[in-house]
A and B are shown apart, each in its own frame.
Chain A
Amino acid sequence: MSERVPRSSTAQLASGLLFGIAALFLALLSQSRPSVAVSGYALLVVTAGVGLFFTGQESVGSARGGHAWAAGDTTLALVGIASGIVFPGLVLAAGLGYFTWTPLAAGVAFSVAGLYAVYGAVAIGQWLRTHPV
């Protein structure tokens, strides 16, 4: 059991690197050689996925899973609190004529709305499953 932890974390590190390289590859080559970029991306992502599948089945296991859960919760709390301050502020400023909504700001606002809509739906689903009405 003890050798499994370093193995899965090495696999995670390697697959993370492969995903990063794949994204970089795609971003750099997509304009000049799109077909090379997409096949390279697919190859790297499949390699990373297969590597994780064979070595890192524990990657979503209890110990790492606990960290990832806490991290996800903290991230969403942070983004949520920041949005809860920033967006009402922007709406107020826009109402008073100090700020105009640009497509950029609106895009971020809709992303935040989408994110918390998904979170809310999942949370309500979980809650209904654990608290039968």
Chain B
Amino acid sequence: MTHLLLSPTGVRRLFGLAVVLGGLALAGFTVVGRPLVGVSAYGLAMIATAVSLLQTDSPAFDERDETISKEAASRTLTVFGLASAVVFPTLTVAWGLDLFEWQPWSSAIALFVAVLFLTYGAFVVVIGHRR
């Protein structure tokens, strides 16, 4: 039993690194055609994040990180919302003019964006009501 204690900064770095590397490994090995390697790497990375959170006795993420996360989430959704409000009407009109044909992958992206903003709208209503 080794009780190696890390500083919150170290935990944050380890956590971020593990999440990014795990995601990249999963995507990369899937594209390359080695899905089982990808899933194993992702599983190891997730174990690493859990272990890294246990290696410190002070909270790893404080209010400042929370504020950054909230601001970043809000900006990301704004960027996606603005881009969608321009791109999807254009595609729909191009489709009406027979300049564009909806493919399964492009409808999948459209559906994903719709679900994303429906979820967001629901949370805005719910959180707004609770306060």
The answer to whether A and B interact is: yes
Tell me which residues across on chain B come within 8 A of A115, comparing CB atoms.
76, 80, 116
Q: For chain A residues 1-54, which have a beta carbon within 8 Å of chain B?
A: 23, 26-27, 29-34, 37-38, 41, 45
Could you tell me the distance in whole angstroms from the C-beta of A117 to the nearest C-beta in chain B? 10
- In the complex formed, the residue of B with least CB distance to A74 is B123
Could you tell me the distance in whole angstroms from the C-beta of B44 to the nearest C-beta in chain A? 12
**Residue-by-residue, is B92-125 near A (CB-CB < 8 Å gives 1, otherwise 0)?**
1101110000011111110111001001100110
Tell me which residues across on chain B come within 8 A of A123, comparing CB atoms.
68-69, 72
| A111 near B70: Cβ-Cβ < 8 Å | no
Tell me which residues across on chain A come within 8 A of B107, comparing CB atoms.
104, 107
Does A132 count as interface, using CB distance less than 8 angstroms?
no
Q: Which of A23, A64, A69, A120 has the most CB atoms of chain B within a 10 A radius of its CB?
A: A69
| B123 near A75: Cβ-Cβ < 8 Å | yes
**Residue-by-residue, is A92-133 near B (CB-CB < 8 Å gives 1, otherwise 0)?**
101110000011111110111101101110110011001000
The total number of A-B Cβ pairs within 8 Å is: 149
| A92 near B39: Cβ-Cβ < 8 Å | yes
How many residues of B are counted as interface, with CB atoms below 8 angstroms from the partner's CB atoms?
52
Q: Which of B46, B74, B75, B113 has the most CB atoms of chain A within a 10 A radius of its CB?
A: B74
Tell me which residues across on chain B come within 8 A of A64, comparing CB atoms.
128
Does B42 count as interface, using CB distance less than 8 angstroms?
yes
| A103 near B104: Cβ-Cβ < 8 Å | yes
Tell me the complex Cα distance, A27–B92, Å. Answer: 7
Listed in ascending order, the chain B residues whose CB lies under 8 Å from chain A are 20, 23, 26-27, 30, 35-36, 38-39, 42-43, 46, 64, 66, 68-77, 79-80, 85, 89, 92-93, 95-97, 103-109, 111-113, 116, 119-120, 123-124, 126-128, 131
For the complex with contacts A88-B42, A91-B26, A107-B104, 15 further pairs of A-B residues with Cβ separation under 8 Å are A29-B96, A30-B95, A30-B96, A41-B89, A73-B73, A78-B119, A94-B30, A95-B38, A104-B105, A106-B108, A113-B27, A115-B80, A118-B80, A122-B71, A123-B72
Listed in ascending order, the chain A residues whose CB lies under 8 Å from chain B are 23, 26-27, 29-34, 37-38, 41, 45, 64-65, 67-76, 78-79, 84, 87-88, 91-92, 94-96, 102-108, 110-113, 115-116, 118-120, 122-123, 126-127, 130
